[in-house]
Structure 1
Amino acid sequence: MIDDETTILAIVDRFFGAFASGPGLDERMAELRSLFLPGAVVVRTCGDLAVYDVDGFVEPRHELLADGSFEDFAEWPVAGTVTVYGDVAHWWGDYAKGGRRDGAPFEGRGVKSIQLVRTDAGWRISAAAWDDERPHP
C-alpha cells in the first residue's frame, strides 16, 4: 500500500510536470484539471494578486504553452515538505522553471503552497498559492 506522503508527492510532481512545452500538452493539461477539486482556488501573488478558479488558471497557461513562444520550458519542485493530518494535507516548497521564451533563455524560482484533501476518488488539490522571485531594487 502506498502511503499518503508518497501519493501527495506524486500529485505535486504531476502538477509541476503539466507546465512543460512540447508534445503531450493537451494530455498534461487535462491531467492537471483532474488533480483539482471542481471548486478549487488558485492564487498568484508575485506583486499582482490574482485569484483563479480551475479553468481560469489552466486555460491561459495551456494557451501560452501552446502558442510556440516557449521552447524547452519546464517547471519542477526543488525542495518541499508534506504535512498530513487526517484527510487534509499540505505541500510547501520551492520550485524552479526554465526554458526559452521568444528564443531567449530564461529561468525563475519561487515558492508554492498546495493544499489537498482526501476524497472518495483520492487526494485532490483544494487550493494552491504561489509567489515568484522578483528583482530587488
Structure 2
Amino acid sequence: MTPRPAADVAQIEQIVDTFFAAFVSGPESTARLDALRSLFIPEAVIVATCGQPPRVYDVDGFIAPRAELLTSGALEDFTEWKEAGRTDVFGDIAHWFGSYGKAGTHNGADAGGRGMKSMQLIRTPEGWRISAAAWDDEREGLTIED
C-alpha cells in the first residue's frame, strides 16, 4: 500500500477533531455546528444504529436536532471527544475509524457513554470532506475492548 501522505492525514485528523468538538453544549454551540456543516459534502449520508433500526440522515437532518439539544438547555455540561482512531488514505479516498466518549446530562439524566464512529472522506477541490459517517454506541452485550 502507498504510504499515507502526512499532510493528508493531518487534514483528516483536523476534520475528525472539528467533528467531535462540535458536540459541546454551552456558548459557541451554534458556531461549532456551523463549522460541522462545512466538513461534509452536501450529499453526505450519516447513519446511527445503536441497537435500533438504522436512522439515516442527510447533513441538515443530522445537525438540526443536535443544534436544538445543544442550545435548548436540556443538554447540560455535554461534551463528546475522540479517544483512539485510525486513518487510512488511498489517493482521493480516506477512512477514519475510532472510539469516542461522551459525558453530560440530558434533562437531569446521565448522557454519557462510549461508542465507535466510522467516517469516509473524499478529496474535493476545497479539500477533504466527509462523504459518509456511521456510529454505534456501547450497550449491554456490546462493549469496546480497551
**TM-score, normalising length: structure 2:** 0.89
The root-mean-square deviation of aligned C-alpha atoms, in Å, is 1.4
Identity over aligned residues, as a percent? 59
2:134 to 126, 129, 135: 129
One-letter code of the match for 2:131? S
Superposed CA deviations along residues 18-50 of structure 1, whole A, max 9, x for unmatched, are 001000011111110000000000011112211
Matching of residues 1-137 of structure 1 within 5 Å: 3-48=7-52, 49-136=54-141
Structure 2: distance between partners of 1:118 and 1:133: 31
Residue 3 of structure 1 aligns to a residue in which SS? helix
One-letter code of the match for 2:123? R
User: Which sections of structure 2, spanning at least 5 residues, go unmatched?
Assistant: 1-5, 142-146
Aligned positions, number: 136
Structure 2: distance between partners of 1:133 and 1:104: 17
One-letter code of the match for 1:115? Q
Structure 2: distance between partners of 1:60 and 1:81: 28
User: Which sections of structure 1, spanning at least 5 residues, go unmatched?
Assistant: none
Superposed CA deviations along residues 54-97 of structure 1, whole A, max 9, x for unmatched, are 00100011111111011110100000000000000000000000
